[in-house]
Structure 1
Amino acid sequence: MPFFTTDKTDLPKRPILKPHCGPVQGHFRRGISCYKGIPYAMPPIGKRRFRAPEPMPPWEDVRDCSKYGDSSLQMGGITLDSPGTYQMDGKSEDCLFLNVWTPALTPEERFPVYVFIHGGAFSSGSGSEMVYDGGRMAQEGVVVITINYRLGALGFLATQGLLEEAGTTGNYGILDQIQALQWIQTNIESFGGDPDQVTVGGQSAGAYCVTALMLSPLAKGLFHQAVIESGSIFSISAFSALNRGNLQKTMANGKLLCDLYGIADSLDGLDQLRALPGDIFAALSMVKSDQSTVPKAFGFWPVFDGVVLPKDPVKALKNGEVNKVKILAGYNTDESSLFIKGHTNLGIYQMLCYHIFGSQNAPSALDHFFVDDDHPPLDRALEIYTYAAFLIGMVMIAKQYAQLEQDVYFYNFDFDPAILKIVGLNTAHGMELLFVFGNGIGQRRATKISNLSWVMQQSWVNFIKYGNPNFKAEYKGQIVWPKFDPENKYIMVFDTRLSSKNLPNQEDLEFLETLMFDGNIDL
């Protein structure tokens, strides 16, 4: 039996479980037991750097899982760039840990599982950030898991030497996530989770990861539903402008790194590459929130390698070569206000378009999204970046999965608290996370904010449990969340007053989809 003690309806303050990985001791509070810092793979250090993760052998002694494990090595932050973010405390190459929150009180219980993948431009973040604490969601009858994965160059460096060694290169961070899902299949029953009812969710770069897993044959059968918040792998060109996921261009970027340190980009040079200090890779991987329009020599993002990811993900999607799952997906109205700054002028707007669309297609984008007195450069930049970097790929996925007869539910988070307006963020990228996880927001439904958080968290939980976000019991202000279909494109709008409508700005989105994904941009 996985529990040491099974004859009580409650758990001791420091419960111990016996999953296949080895015994773990967590912490029990308010009906939820939490197990932090569980290693799901061997440390990816030394000879294991730039290799697929290796399963962790079972341990015998009870492992103290009361504290988070180290985050992936990183410097700076996409949403927070201050001197404090450059320190290395609590960050390490030895970072492949996951955290579990479970409502199970007996070994026989089985709850649906929600695995959340954090964002951070593939260069920062961790599963231990306070906003992702799974305690409140677990109280609603869901086992919640957050994970770390390798970031920056340590997670996504691609070189010719690494390709020759392993037959694939550049997607170590995605392989980490697949290994975590395999660990879950083997171990989650001991935590009261159902391995046949796993939903994978993510936000921003995490959403890019979720959509990558939906395309990866290596992830087939490891999850059954997907939550996609603000992003998709198809929009990689909006950030990774220098290689756009292309294998050869990404490996050329890797050679540039090798050349910088006098290392041969070959099998013979791999020992030297693996011997470089990890801090170097963290520094080279840093992304700042104001660099969306600035040329960047190094950018480390997933690569379409033909093994972990199809070489042509757009073609794979349109051909139905995907892992079929139910989907909940959506975006925030003012995603780009986190990235596009108030000083944006015509030149910055034009440079942004050339970075996103390439030299051949940028003139068409600039002509369609023209600048005049009613459409200033800042407004256009905010608009086009929200579409290209976050929304358009999700709409493509939603349409195709609906055509494949998979249930799809699409949302728009449109709540615009006054305090955000003061700092110029509006309904910015990532703001929905506070509402979905419910951390930092009161639970008593006494205010508009706490009520909206309750509705959103319950909708997510309903989807995780039943594959349908709609409520079974009535509540004040309730409306039906209709399924997304390719013709009408119905969406749910989350504001202090709920509403349902057709996806707005469809002509602009269709224009960009044709411009970006009909073969004119080299993926």
Structure 2
Amino acid sequence: MMDGKKRLGKILRGHLGVATALVVAVLAFAPASRAQTKTPYGDVEGVEHSSTFSYLGIPYAAAPVGANRFAPPMPPAKWTKPLAARSFGPACAQLDLVSKKMKGQEDCLTLNIWRPKLISRPLPVLVFIHGGGNTIGSSAEEIFGKKLYDGTKLAEAGNIVVTLNYRLGPFGFLAHPALKTADGLQGNYAILDQISALKFVKASVADFGGNPDQITVFGESAGAINTLVLIASPLAQGLFQRAIIQSGFLSEVPLATAEPQAFAIASSAGCPNDANAAACLRNLSTEKLLSAASKSSSALLGIGSPTIDGYVLKTGILESIRSKRYNQVPVIIGTNRDEFRTLLSAVVKTGPLFSRIDYENVLVNYFGRDKSEAILAEYPSDRYATPKRALEEVLNDHMSHCPARAVSRALIEAGTPAYRYVFTHTGDNPFYAPYGAGHALELPFVFGTLGFDRSLREYDFSRTVRSYWSAFAASGNPLVKDQPLWPLAADDTYLDLAPKSAAKTGFHNEKCDFWDAL
């Protein structure tokens, strides 16, 4: 019998359909048949497909190595000959979750672009920031041979699609005070990478057929966290006109939290925590710094939280929105109903014998004795199929659904159009039943990278999701003909996103009221 991993690989292996198109005239700004296009740093030559062009591995910044480690990204060196943009750039340096061995490299700041072959007007631009706890992953994320973030289908829907790599783990987020710059930058190098990529896109996307004044940033998981930071950061002002937040958490940390983490990493790597720390940290090998960060972090995925440094992020995200000191662009914000069905192992170690006592101990360790008693009263283990399910529901609400409600409420109260969704679809194939509507399971529907084992109904649903995302990118309103109306998030209204989508009100409101009061 086929085991779970092999089965998952079979299901997720790609079906990348291509549309046939009539030959029509294209605008003068469209690339030539050899897919050669200008950028501010030199020409790039992509790959021609049936209905799209792709341009992969384009450098948007110089290698962040040597003196550029723990520094804002610098412009890449210009190239004089056309760059063969035919393959993805290397992933940024990270530890493999299974082997704990290093993969990727520090010279990794590249982006990828997909565009339709036939363009009659400047198109909306969708810029995607991948997830992975800000410690793992890349724009070329592969599941059993299939590129999860392939932009082909979204491009066929009438968009320019961009995906990108950014510095991960300590390279992207180490907030050691010895590294603090004169303007106050401390950590958040990964956020500056994303801002640099957005500047590159804004400066060059017209040559790819895109509208530089119609850019949507969208991210999932850690990428959604980073998107929230971009919404709150004054440094990203004017670089995008809309934002989509897929399963983001409010995980920014103050310097009081980030600095002790940085001290621990420096000590583990053998660096002094004094004036010499900066030089020592910059001279460490890639492997040694990754190892030190892994050993020094209590989190399974290591260090990867944006820091409230007063420069990139001046205050917490909610505070920025509530005080109207943020980039006021229309927002879609959503969560998956069963986020921690697939995410729990990244937060808590649970096994098949996870008991009621284990559940209670986790709550005490995480929330403290007093709060845990109130949480147990609100989420008693005997109300759920297993204690593990009870813990999933606690974390679903506390870390995902209720923060999404708080953000959508704050945006609406500040006068920003905000649309909320809850993804509730469990795969039609029985194989997916144990995963529910888990974390990241909306991604194949957004990108259209479903496997062959999906149903025709699910392919239709994926087209609907792409239509919603595309309509929002075009107008700031996810209005799609012949699909259920997606209302603003006023009065806690949301779209139940499923093959039979419907507008509803008050998802888990009683639970969120409990968390607000705790």
TM-score (norm: length of structure 1): 0.85
Q: Check the 8 A contact 1:420/1:426 in 2, yes or no.
A: no
User: Counterparts of 1:10 and 1:326 in 2: how far apart (Å)?
Assistant: 29
Partner of 1:70: 90
Q: Distance in 2 between matches of 1:358 and 1:98?
A: 43
CA distance in 2, matches of 1:419, 1:59: 49
Please show how residues 26-45 of structure 1 align to structure 2 within 5 Å.
26-45=46-65
Matches within 5 A, 1:272-421: 272-285=280-293, 299-340=303-344, 341=350, 342-354=352-364, 356-357=366-367, 361-372=371-382, 376-417=386-427, 419=429
1:453 equivalent among 456, 462, 472? 462
1:146–1:343 CA distance, 2 compared to 1 (3 A): farther
Matched, 1:121 2:133: yes
Aligned equivalent of 2:17: none
Asked if 1:268 is matched to 2:276, the reply is yes
Give how far 1:466 is off. 1.8
Corresponding residue number in structure 1 for 2:262: 254
Give 1:333 shift.
Answer: 1.2
Q: Is the contact made by 2:148 and 2:447 (CA closer than 8 Å) also made in structure 1?
A: yes
- Inter-partner Cα distance in structure 1 for 2:58 and 2:254: 34
Deviation, structure 1 residue 373: 5.5
Aligned partner of 1:432 among 427, 439, 442: 442
How far apart in 2 are the matches of 1:314 and 1:395?
A: 11
* TM-fit CA distance, 1:391: 2.1
Alignment counterpart, residue 502 of structure 2, candidates 499, 503, 516:
499
Distance 1:419 1:263 in 2: 52
> Structure 1 438/297 Cα, relative in aligned 2: closer, same or farther at 3 Å?
closer
Deviation at 1:413, TM superposition (A): 1.2
- Provide the secondary structure at the position in 1 that maps to 2:136: coil
**Structure 2 length normalisation: TM-score?**
0.86
1:218-233 alignment runs, 5 A limit? 218-232=235-249
8 Å CA contact 2:364, 2:372 repeated in 1: yes
| 1:110 corresponds to | 122
TM-fit CA distance, 1:109: 3.8
Q: How far does residue 465 in structure 1 lie from its aligned partner after superposition?
A: 1.2
- Aligned pair 1:61/2:81, yes or no? yes
Counterpart of 1:127, as a letter, is S
Deviation at residue 22 of structure 1 after TM alignment:
0.9
Partner AA of 2:476 in structure 1: G
The SS at the match of 1:102 is strand
Q: Distance in 2 between matches of 1:424 and 1:285?
A: 33
Partners of 2:226 and 2:274 in 1: CA distance = 28
Deviation at 1:316, TM superposition (A): 2.1
In 2, Cα distance between equivalents of 1:334 and 1:399: 22
Distance 1:275 1:418 in 2: 52
Shift of 1:32: 1.0
Task: For 2:515, give the aligned amino acid.
Answer: L
Q: 1:482 aligns with which of 478, 487, 493?
A: 487
How big is the alpha-carbon RMSD for the aligned residues of Structure 1 and Structure 2?
A: 2.8
Distance 1:191 1:412 in 2: 33
Contact 2:233–2:312 (CA under 8 A) maintained in structure 1: yes
The verdict on how the C-alpha distance between 1:312 and 1:497 changes in structure 2, with shifts beyond 3 A counting, is: closer
Q: Give yes or no for contact 2:29–2:209 (8 Å, CA) kept in 1.
A: no
SS in structure 1 at match of 2:214:
strand
In the alignment, the residues of structure 2 paired with residue 420 and residue 387 of structure 1 have an alpha-carbon distance, to the nearest angstrom, of 26
TM-aligned CA distance change 1:104 to 1:352, over 3 Å: farther
Does the CA-based 8 Å contact 2:123-2:158 persist in structure 1?
Answer: yes
**Alpha carbons 2:31, 2:208 under 8 Å: kept:** no
Which residue does the alignment assign to 2:208? Answer: 191
Contact 1:13 1:27 in 2 (8 A): no
**In the alignment, is the contact (CA less than 8 A) between 2:318 and 2:410 conserved in 1?**
no
Partner of 2:111: 98
Query: Matches of 2:27 and 2:186 in 1, distance apart?
Result: 50
Structure 2 unmatched runs, 5+: 1-24, 142-146, 345-349
Name the structure 1 match of 2:3: none
Answer whether contact 2:421 2:495 (CA < 8 A) is retained.
yes
Deviations 1:427-452 (A, max 9, x none): 11001000110013579x97111111
Supply the AA of the counterpart residue of 2:87: K
Q: CA deviation at 1:393?
A: 2.0
User: For residue 177 of structure 1, what is the aligned residue in structure 2?
Assistant: 194
Q: Is the 8 A contact 1:330 1:411 kept in 2?
A: yes
Q: Matched residues in 1 for 2:289 and 2:360: separation? A: 31
Partner letter of residue 160 of structure 1? P
SS in 1 for 2:381: coil
Alignment partner for residue 185 of structure 2, among 143, 154, 168?
Answer: 168
Gaps of 5+ in 1: 237-243, 516-523
- Deviations, residues 285-313 of structure 1 (Å, cap 9, x unaligned): 559xxx9xx76695331111111112333
Letter in 1 for 2:179: L
- Equivalent residue for 1:143, pick from 144, 160, 169: 160
Q: CA deviation at 1:259?
A: 1.6
What is the aligned partner in structure 2 of residue 470 from structure 1? 479
| Distance verdict in 2 for CA 1:438–1:428, change over 3 Å | same
Instruction: Work out the percentage of aligned pairs sharing the same amino acid.
Output: 29
Counterpart secondary structure, 2:308: coil
Q: Count residues with an aligned counterpart.
A: 482
- Matched-pair contact (CA < 8 Å) for 1:11–1:105: no
Q: Partner residue of 1:511?
A: 514
